[in-house]
Structure 1
Amino acid sequence: MNENYSQIIARLIEAAPFDIDPNIRMEGRPPSSASSEFLTNKEQGDWAERVVLAAINENCPDHLAVSYGRGDGLAAGDPGFADFYREYQDELNTIGKKPDILIFRRADFLGREHVDLANEQTVSRAVAAIEVRSSSFLATKYALFMSNRIKYAEQECMRVRRLILQEPFATLLHQKSPDLFDLINNAGLSTFRELDFRFRSWSSSALLQELSEYLKLLKEQIKILHKRDYLSITPKVEDLALVNRWIQRFNVPHYYLQVFFDRAYIISFREILEIISDSAKEDVVFSVEKDVKNQGKTTIKIAIQIGREIIGRMDMPEHKSALKELERGRLLFYVTFSGGRGYLDPEVFYHELMCNV
C-alpha cells in the first residue's frame, strides 16, 4: 500500500538521527520581559510573512494564500501575556506548531467571504503549509563576500605554502616536524579545506621564528576555509517534532521558506528530514549548532542553495524606530517594517506544489 504524506513524514522522523520525540511536551514558565532585539525580529518576521502572502496571491491566480499561524501582538511583559503563553503551549501539545501560511485552491472557495480556519476539515483541504523564516541579510551580497573571502584565503594558503617550502625553511620544518612537512608539501588548492594541524611555535633562532609566523598565517587562512560559508534555512530540532505533530493531524505538505531582504528560498519539510538523515551531507550542505539566538537550542542550518529560489527580487521595505513602554516603566526601542514587495516565480511555486509528496 502506498504511503500518504503524513506516513512518509512519520517514517522519516523515526529514522532521523537527532532523537526527535514525536510525543514532546512543551512546558515551562513564560518569559518575564521582552527585549528590543526580540521585538525587532518579530516585526521583521511579520513583514516577511506579509511579503510572502502578497507575492503568492498576486502571482498565483489559481491559489489562495491565507495567514494561519498565531498573529497576536502580545510580547513578554504585556498584560495578558502569561495566559497567551500558556494557551500557546497547550496548542503546541495538542495540534503541534501551526505553519504561518496555508495555501488553498481558489476554486474550492468561490463565493465565500473567508476561509474558516477554525474548522479542521477546512484546514485539511490546504494543498500546502508554509513556515516563513526571515533573515537580516542580503543573500546576493553575502554570497559574493564569502566567495571573495574564500578565494583570498586559498591564494594566501598557496602563497604561504610556497614560502614554507623554500629553503632554508623546508629543511628546518622537515627537521622539526616531518609529518607537518609532508602535510604541507602534499597540499594543493583543492585540499586546503580538508587540512588541519596543531600549530607549533619555535623561537630558538630568527629563522625558526620566521617559520613559525608562516605556519601561524597558514593556520589562520585554513581556519577561514573551515568556516561555514553559506546562509541557511534554520529549523530547530525541537520544531521538527512540533511540525510533525501538526502534519500527522492535518496531512498537509509542509515547507520552510527563508526570506532575505533581496530574495527568498523554499525547501520541503520532507527534504529537510532526508538531508539531515544523510551523514555524508553534514558539514557539506548542513551543519548542526547550538544557536545562541535561539536560547542555545539545537538548530539545523541547511545551505540555501539546497532550496529553490522562489522570490528572485525584493523591493526593500521602509523602516522606522518604534517605542514600547512596559508596565514597570521600562522603554524598549525597536524597528518596524512596512511596504516592500517580493517578485515570486510562479513556475517554481507550482513545481513545488506538484512535487509535494
Structure 2
Amino acid sequence: MTGPVLTIESLNVHYGTGAGAAHALRDVDLTLRRGEVLGLAGESGSGKSTLAYAVTRLLAPPGVITGGEVHYHPRGGAPALDLLAMTPAELRAFRWQELSIVFQGAMNSLNPVHTVHSQLDDVLKAHRPGTARAARRARAAELLTLVGISADRLGSHPHQLSGGMRQRVMIAMALALEPEVVIMDEPTTALDVVMQRQILRQLVRLRRELSFSVIFITHDVSLLVEFSDRIAIMYGGRIVEEAGAAEIYRDPKHPYSEGLLRSFPALRGERRELAGIPGAPPHLAAMPPGCAFHVRCGKALAPCGERVPELGSPVGEGARRVACWLHAEAAV
C-alpha cells in the first residue's frame, strides 16, 4: 500500500434543519490508502451508510452535507479532486469510472424488469459511448465470469437469480469500469453464512487481481477481522477507534469496540460467553453530553459525561487512534 486514494476531513452531515435536525456525521476524518480494504463497523444508526452516501454525493433529502472535505487522489501525481465541489455533470462522469458503490439490498438496487445484460450494458453505454455493441456484450459476459457466474445468465432477470448471485451481479456492475475505489454498504447482510464467505473470497481474489481499494461497511466485526487491513469503529456519527484489523481483534481499546467483538462468537480458540452491549444507540437529534457512549459504558470516568474525547491524528501507517478518556494519552 502506498499513498492515499480517498481522504475525508471534518465531514458533517445533518438530516433536517433547525433545532430538530439530526447530526448524523460529526467531524469524521478518514483516509483510504491505495490498494487497501478499510472496514467500517458499528451498530445501525451509527452513521456508516450516511458516510458512504455523503462521500458519493448520493444523500437523499433531507440529508445535507454541512461541512468538511472529500478528496480523491488520482494515480500519477495528478491534482486531487474535490468531490463536494463537483458539478452534476462531473459527478456523473466520475462515479463508476473512478469510484463505485455496491448497495445494501441487491434486489432493490437491480431493476426487476430488465435483464442482467441490459443493466450491465447501461453502465458501459453511459461511460463508454463509443464501444461497439458486441464489445459491450463481451465485457458483460467477462464481468459475470469474473464474479463466478456463468455468462449464460446474462439473459436472466433479477428474480431468476439467488440472493448471492444478485449480490455478485451488483459487484460485477461496480467493477465494470475498473474503478480505483469501491464502497460496499453491507453487501452480505441478507445472505447466509456460507454465501457470505463465498462472496468475501471472491472479493479478496478480485482485489488482488484488479488492485482497487475498498471501504467495506458492516455491523459484523467478525467479517472485517478476516477481510480488512484496517478497521474504523463508528458510534453516534463519530469514529471512536481506528487500527489494524489484527490489533482491533487482539486488543480493542475503546469499550464500544470491545462490546462489538464480544457480541459475536469466536470462530477459533476457547469458547467464551457472549455479552451484548446494554441499552440502545443514542438518538442523533438528542445526543448525550460528552462521549456519546458513556451512558452505556461500564468503564465510564468523570470526564466522559462532560467532554468529547478527541480521536487525534494517526502517526505512521499502522497507527491506532482511539477517542476514549481511558486512553487519552494514547490517543495520538
Give the TM-score normalised by the residue count of structure 1: 0.22
Greater helix share, structure number = 1
Q: Which structure has the higher relative contact order (CA within 8 Å, separation 6+)?
A: 1
Give the number of the structure whose alpha-carbon radius of gyration is greater: 1
